[in-house]
Chains A and B, each alone.
Chain A
Amino acid sequence: MKEITASMAGTVLNIMATTGDDVTEGQEVLMLESMKMEIPVEASVAGKVAEVRVSIGDFVNEGDILITLE
């Protein structure tokens, strides 16, 4: 199980991947808003999305797990 975590605290603005999607390394899977800046979150490795743990509008802290990959 691989995890994609938040690079910094912020609000989830958009989620571009759903359970079952195959994502490639470097693909933008989620958009965070932090300090009035949109911060793209990329998949650090390739894999199939097992679970999206957050919803649009959620506040996340740095290090929180956003998406898990199989």
Chain B
Amino acid sequence: MQKILIANRGEIALRIIRTCREMGVTTVAIYSDADKEMAYVREADSSVRIGEPPVQKSYLNADAILDIAKAENVDGIHPGYGFLSENAEFARKAAEEGLVFIGPSPKTIEQMGDKIVSRQTMEQAGVPVVPGNSNGIDNIEEACSLADSIGYPIMLKASGGGGGIGMVRCENKQELLKSFESTKTRAKTYFGSDKVFIEKYIQNARHIEVQVFGDSYGNLVHLYERDCSIQRRHQKVVEEAPSPFLSEEARERLYDLALKAAKAVSYINAGTIEFIVDENENVYFLEMNTRLQVEHPVTEAITGLDLVKWQILVARGEKLPLLQQEIQNQGNAVEFRLYAEDPVTFMPSPGKITLFDWEPGHGVRVDYGYEEGSSVTPFYDPMIAKCIFYGSTRVEALAISKKFFADMKIEGIKTNAPLLKEIIEDENFQSGRYTTSFLTEWIAAKK
């Protein structure tokens, strides 16, 4: 693979370009009219306009992307995360055009993308799933009787959902009645299917995921866990590795289950198994993300590996570079997502970044998409940059984080930087005693 097209934008496109450059792989970027001035467009070896800003006319336009790939004579396509990265149809079409899709097989994407099918697959493989129903729900009567048998609170979820969209927590029957039809409508609008299902909402839980990697020779390894419990609107804000909460016994159990899950779908390339871990360290499969994860840098920090490089090697048909026992983890890493949004209401805040400056330093990595002078447009995800900190201990990583945010300057738009600073100072965060309700409680305390 000598030349690849990056079917994405922003920080992840830049991240992929960096590794490609090191490997001597030529890159082709695509950009919408809104992204013409962005850093990744400049940094790629060549770049091609894809269309108007709305995602349907640009980064989700599979046919237009494949046309560019053919015209540019690339060997492979890296989908990044989001957009078409978990679109089986796109992966299949790419293969039909003789292009290597840098990711798992279309069949695996399909199987894991349908949350009901993925639940069924994991149950059959002996991986515990969150208590709920694995067949989908047709009507509100069925939903209510199921919710009664599971017990409230419950999560009503779109089977085609992901990225925190299309799920609603219901405390009681009234809320379920209120949310049922609107969740189905949303699911249909977003994911093209109104199929929904119900899971128990697990209180005081942690969201812990395991990075896995497979090759086409049947080798499968895990690259340890990431704790992603600090979320707003079911979307991650802070991720760290290792989890500050798990006992050694639970950690090993988690890795075993992740490998079992990956094996059940003969997984190839980079993937992430997301689990919910309750306060008694019971582990439940939540979903599998069949792509590179936003928060992959924390895993890179503790293992010293380059996950994008591994993705390309595996896509080239090579074996995994390391065996399980050769993969070591050391130290602690934490990632903070810097968003263009109001730090209290979380409402998006697009606009021009007039100043963006930070101090580089030991243990500091900033994967940015936007830079000083560029504009955050309302068409895409509001993430400006990922700020990753590494220390030999968690205390050290947090001290580096604290200093970074004290020095960092960003002006022109509202960002969540004030919130990130407060999280770092929070006693429960510092002690590692936090759950998925951390930010909900934090906001409630503010009011």
Contacts and interface: CB of A to CB of B under 8 A. Distances in A.
The answer to whether A binds B is yes
Nearest to B57: A59
Interface string B161-191: 0011100000000000000001001100110
A57 B186 CA distance: 10
A36 B163 contact: yes
A62 B348 contact: no
Contacts of A34: 348, 378
Contacts of A13: 185-186, 189-190
A18 to B, nearest CB: 14
Interface string A25-42: 000000001111101000
Contact of A8 (B56, B189, B348): B348
Contacts of A8: 348, 350, 378
Nearest to A36: B381
Contacts of A56: 185, 189
Given A8-B378, A35-B381, A36-B163, A59 B54 contact: yes
A32 to B, nearest CB: 10
B189 A37 contact: no
A65 interface: no
A39 B350 CA distance: 14
A33 B54 CA distance: 12
B238 to A, nearest CB: 17
A64 to B, nearest CB: 12
A35 B185 contact: no
A35 B378 contact: yes
Given A36-B163, A39-B347, A62 B186 contact: no
B186 A37 contact: no
Contacts, number: 50
SS class of chain A's interface: helix, strand, loop or mixed? strand
* Interface-central residue, B163, B233, B378, B382, by most chain A CB under 10 Å: B378
Interface size class on chain B is 20 to 34
A55 B340 CA distance: 28
B380 interface: yes
A59 B56 CA distance: 9
B346 interface: yes
A37 B379 CA distance: 11
A14 B186 contact: yes
Interface string A8-31: 111101100000000000000000
B18 to A, nearest CB: 25
Contacts of B163: 36
B124 interface: no
* Interface-central residue, B348, B377, B381, by most chain A CB under 10 Å: B348
A23 B377 CA distance: 31
B165 A35 contact: no
A10 B378 contact: yes
Nearest to A16: B182
Contacts of A35: 340-341, 348, 350, 378-382
Contacts of B185: 13-14, 56
Interface string B306-336: 0000000000000000000000000000000
A50 to B, nearest CB: 24
A62 B233 contact: no
A7 to B, nearest CB: 9
B400 to A, nearest CB: 28
Interface in B107-158: none
Contact of B164 (A9, A10, A33, A36): A36
A65 to B, nearest CB: 17
B235 interface: yes
Contact of B379 (A9, A14, A39, A57): A9
A11 B190 CA distance: 10
A36 B235 contact: yes
A9 B380 CA distance: 10
Contacts of B182: 14
A36 B54 contact: no
A52 B46 CA distance: 44
Contact of B382 (A11, A36, A62): A36
Contacts of A59: 54, 56
Contacts of B189: 11, 13-14, 56-57
A7 B376 CA distance: 16
B347 A37 contact: yes
Contacts of B56: 59
7 contacts: A13-B190, A14-B189, A35-B380, A37-B233, A37-B341, A37-B382, A56-B189
Interface of B: 54, 56, 163-165, 182, 185-186, 189-190, 233, 235, 340-341, 346-348, 350, 377-382
The 5 A-B pairs of least Cβ separation, nearest first, read A35-B348, A9-B378, A35-B382, A59-B54, A8-B378
